[in-house]
Structure 1
Amino acid sequence: MKKSALNFYIEQWSTVPPVEVVDLSAETVLVVGANVGIGFEASKHFARMQPARLIMACRSESKGKAAVAEIEQETGYNGCELRIIDLADFASVVAFADKFEKEIGGLHILVMNAGVLQPAFQLTTDGWESMLQVNYLATSLLSLLLIPQLVAAGRKSSRPSRMVIVSSDVHYLVNPTEEVKASAKPLETLSSKEWSILRGMQIRYFESNLFKVFFVRALTDRLQSITPLSAVAVSPGYCYSQFRRSFHERTFSLINIIVTIQERLLASTTEQGSRQLVFAAVGKRDDEEKIRGAYLSRGRVEEVADFVLSDEGHKMQDTIWKETIDILSDVSDKIAPIIQEYLLP
């Protein structure tokens, strides 16, 4: 599928479907990146559905506490639990997953919303380009480490658990170079300082969202059919968010002016964007097979980019998956056993 500028404008000016509402009183929900933007608004919606537990995972403790207090005051729900995680630090992700397993256990809904948009090249303490690590590698790491908790909850429930990976329609705009497609380690290639500065930072955010679509599809291909877990990718659409605050901080810059004009003409509200996350988490419960591995937008299943569906795309998806598992297996000794127990070869 291809999305033209006209498609984009039509979607942005169309009516946003209302938020899905279900009974979550017996379910545990985890939102990663929950203290601001669409993650915060989605957490509000979940809170109004009275889940058994609502875990709000944030990088900043002070901002997380303020978000919890605001949700409690606005919704009257007192089941929010703040947990701290930093996706720019693999050790923090592993520690979070270990603590979650010991203290919380079963997980019915995982929403991986945290992400960054960096205009300049930055390395994390783990040695990866920051957007590639936060938006993709660390997101994949936590998602894989929580599979046992998701499956355990799904087996005890009348319906499969949901893993929601927040992606974007910008994945339609990515066409990797021949060098990257031919590389046995494309993630390593893309993360290098030379590649990023000379050729990569302009589309790094786009690439990270393509890789999240790859991850959901590759994981779905490998999940055993009887496994009570559905993974989906979702686009919140183009909406107001502090996600683009790095551009607004550039006073009087051309890109600041362009972003501001685009937002005023086209952007949905942050709350409207959050409805897409909620739909991905609780929608289509009566049609689970249709939603497994799907890419969701505007409250419906959408076809992914033509490149993803192409032979080249399938090949790159498998290459990215293999490299991802190799990288993350070095980060946590739990990855290999999880792959062996829950996924097909």
Structure 2
Amino acid sequence: MGQLSRLDVALRQLAGAPELGVKADLAGKTVIVVGANTGIGIEAVKHFSSMNAAKVIMACRSEEKGKKAVAEVEKATGKNNAELWLLDLGRFASVVEFADRFEKEGGRLDILVMNAGIATGTYEDFEGWESTLHVNHLSTALCSLLLIPRLLKTASDFSIQTRLVVVSSEVHHFTTLSEEVRNSPSILKKLNEKEYFQKNFMDRYPVSKLLNVLFVRALNAHLPTTSPLIVDAVNPGFCKSELTRNIPDFKPPTFEYEGKTITLTAWTSEEGSRQLLWAALGPPNPADTDKIRGAFVSGNHIEEPSDFVLSKEGKDAQDRLWNETLEILNEVTPKVNAVVKEYLSV
């Protein structure tokens, strides 16, 4: 499709969400959904649960909200296959503890959906990192990397393909990494500067979703081309959720089109969750599976990412982001480098 405009997105939203485009029998399989107590996360859990997964782990920050979410899933599906595991992407130690626990107790892992994310207009420091960078990129990358061994072992033990889905957004089309960022010694450290954030705070969430796309493409590039682990990024669309709760006076934008004013229409969380299922289980034709490796999924199909992602500047930024991310995360735990050395190409 190529570069999207904001009007393109508004018209697509207005046209309505695609139907659930994939179905599967997940009997015996384990799914993790990170960020599962609300919005598209809990709706994705309901779908996975209804497809007879042996276990759907709902990774949530709040025990109270998580327990309520499990009860909601059980009531909606009539299944008792959802489990609450605590995970706070605002703390690196929590991510490491979660991965360690899964290694000891979790068993097989067929599908990992990294859905948690935040949007904020205020600079907050989480362990030395701006909160959006910490949650949406660094902790998402850390959790993904630490669970790769279990995803690959499951693939080997059961002679199947496993899936890692990172929830991104079409809003990555509306931003780039500026020359100021690209010309700095470190992309992430520049983005982390409070002064830079305050000058560009409205761009922070789109940038974090751009980082998701770049990370997925980089990770895929470091996996063997025939790896049984398939990694992709997904756009759920603009949905009614709690995502913008920390942005003061947020109002959906409006657009002029053919003499009419169009307001960006939000889909329901269930409608948005359908894309997470497509990214985790699609494409419907198994012969097309290799096409989804490192891809950007939107609207029940594989879609080109932004022009910036595909440009030389984007590729250079992708390589730098990968190296910077590994360096930062290896300071959190040396297990990151151990995973890279054993399972990924340099």
Match in the other structure for 2:192: 191
Match of 1:76 among 75, 78, 82: 78
**3-state SS of the aligned residue for 2:122?**
coil
AA aligned to 2:133 is: L
Structure 1: distance between partners of 2:263 and 2:69: 26
More moved, 44-53 vs 181-190: 181-190
TM norm structure 1: 0.94
1:70 CA displacement: 1.0
Deviation, structure 1 residue 225: 2.4
Where do residues 7-86 of structure 1 align in structure 2 (5 Å cutoff)? 7-19=8-20, 20-86=22-88
Map of 2:300 onto structure 1? 299
2:274 matched to 1:275? yes
Equivalent residue letter for 1:106: R
The match for 2:252 is 259
Which runs of 5 or more structure 2 residues have no equivalent in the other structure? 256-261
Deviation of 1:153 (Å): 1.1
Cα contact 1:29–1:109 (8 A) shared by 2: yes
For the aligned residue pairs, the C-alpha RMSD in angstroms reads 1.6
For residue 154 of structure 1, report the CA deviation from its aligned partner. Answer: 1.3
Contact 1:184–1:319 (Cα < 8 Å) also in 2: no
Matched, 1:128 2:95: no
> Shift of residue 264 of structure 1?
6.9
Percent identity, please.
Answer: 47
Deviation at residue 182 of structure 1 after TM alignment: 1.6
Please report how far the alpha carbon of residue 156 of structure 1 lies from its aligned counterpart in structure 2 after TM superposition: 2.5
Distance 1:200 1:329 in 2: 28
SS at match of 1:231: strand
Assess if the C-alpha contact under 8 Å between 2:190 and 2:196 holds in 1: yes
Does the 8 A contact of 1:190 with 1:200 survive in 2?
Answer: no
Residue matched to 2:328: 327
Deviates more, 1:55-64 or 1:222-231: 222-231
The amino acid of 1:123's aligned partner reads D
SS in 2 for 1:233: strand
> What CA deviation, in whole Å up to 9, does each residue of 1:172-219 have, x standing for no partner?
11122212112231101111222212x232211111110000000001
CA deviation vs aligned residue, 1:255-285 (integer Å, no higher than 9, x gap): 44x3398997511111100101111111116
The Cα shift of 1:159 comes to 2.9
Indicate the larger mover: 58-67 or 99-108: 99-108
CA distance in 1, matches of 2:180, 2:153: 41
SS in 1 for 2:297: strand
Letter in 2 for 1:304: P
Measured in 1, the distance between the counterparts of 2:305 and 2:254 equals 28
Work out whether residues 88 and 134 of structure 1, in 8 Å CA contact, stay in contact via their aligned partners in 2. yes
Aligned to 2:242: 242
Tell me the SS of whatever aligns to 1:338: helix
- Say whether the 8 Å CA contact 1:238–1:266 is kept in structure 2: yes
CA distance in 2, matches of 1:15, 1:159: 34
Distance 1:32 1:207 in 2: 20
| C-alpha distance in structure 2 between counterparts of 1:300 and 1:68, whole Å | 30
Q: More deviation in 7-16 or 262-271? A: 262-271
Contact 1:166 1:234 in 2 (8 A): yes
Which amino acid is the alignment partner of residue 229 of structure 1?
Answer: L
In the alignment, the residues of structure 2 paired with residue 265 and residue 223 of structure 1 have an alpha-carbon distance, to the nearest angstrom, of 38
Give, as a single letter, the amino acid of the residue that structure 1 aligns with 2:74.
E
Instruction: State how far apart, in whole Å, the 1-side matches of 2:133 and 2:181 are.
Output: 14
Normalising by structure 2, report the TM-score.
0.94
In structure 1, runs of 5+ residues without a counterpart are: none
* Whole-angstrom CA distance in 1 between matches of 2:85 and 2:296: 28
Residues in 1 aligned to 2:246 and 2:218: alpha-carbon distance in whole angstroms: 32
1:112 has 2:111 as partner = no
Aligned counterpart, 1:233: 233
Q: The residue matched to 2:119 in structure 1 has which SS? A: coil
Partner Cα separation in structure 1 for residue 57 and residue 296 of structure 2: 24
Which secondary structure state, in structure 2, belongs to the residue aligned with residue 259 of structure 1? coil
For 1:159 and 1:17, the matched residues in 2 are separated by 28
